[in-house]
Amino acid sequence: MPVKLHRCGGMWVKIGGHPCWKVQKALNEAGIEYEVVTGPLSRSKRTEITRLSGQALYPVIEFEDGRVYREQSKKMAERISAGELFEAPTTTPEARR
């Protein structure tokens, strides 16, 4: 799977304003295959997301080569819908060390 969507565990929340759903819906509509990786709701327990992206906010997209993409969910969804996900500005966990 070339893309992992790291998101909150609230998979039942499917309203337009929910950041995780907004990005997941854009991936679905764009036909991009992805794996959902759910994480803790509590920000203090989001150690894996912090390690990957340098912050504790969802959603985060992780590419197969280890690059990570994170912006505000609205911007992420717009980029995905425009077909520009794979050109998104990314970082790697190693680059932040």
- Asked if pLDDT for residue 72 goes beyond 80, the answer is yes
- Asked if pLDDT for residue 97 goes beyond 70, the answer is no
Stretch 65-76: mean pLDDT? 95
Delineate the domains of the chain, giving CATH numbers in brackets.
Answer: 3-96 (3.40.30.10)
Interval 43-56: pLDDT, tens: 999 999 999 999 99
What pTM did the predictor assign? 0.90
What pLDDT score does 24 carry?
Answer: 95
pLDDT band (50, 70, 90) for residue 76 = very high
Stretch 83-92: mean pLDDT? 91
Q: Which residue has the tokens 């893309």?
A: 3
Residue 5, classed as helix, strand or coil, is strand
Residues across the chain: 97
Asked if residue 49 lies in contact with residue 39, where contact means CB atoms within 8 angstroms, the answer is: yes
Interval 1-42: pLDDT, tens: 689 999 998 767 676 688 999 999 999 999 999 999 999 988
Q: Which residue has the tokens 């992420």?
A: 76
Q: How far is CA 84 from CA 18, 26, 37, 49, in A?
A: 21, 12, 22, 23
What pLDDT score does 96 carry?
Answer: 62
* Contacts by 90-93, CB closer than 8 A, 24 or more apart: 90/63, 91/53, 91/54, 91/67, 92/66, 92/67, 92/68, 93/51, 93/52, 93/66, 93/68
* Cα 3 to the center of its chain, rounded Å: 9
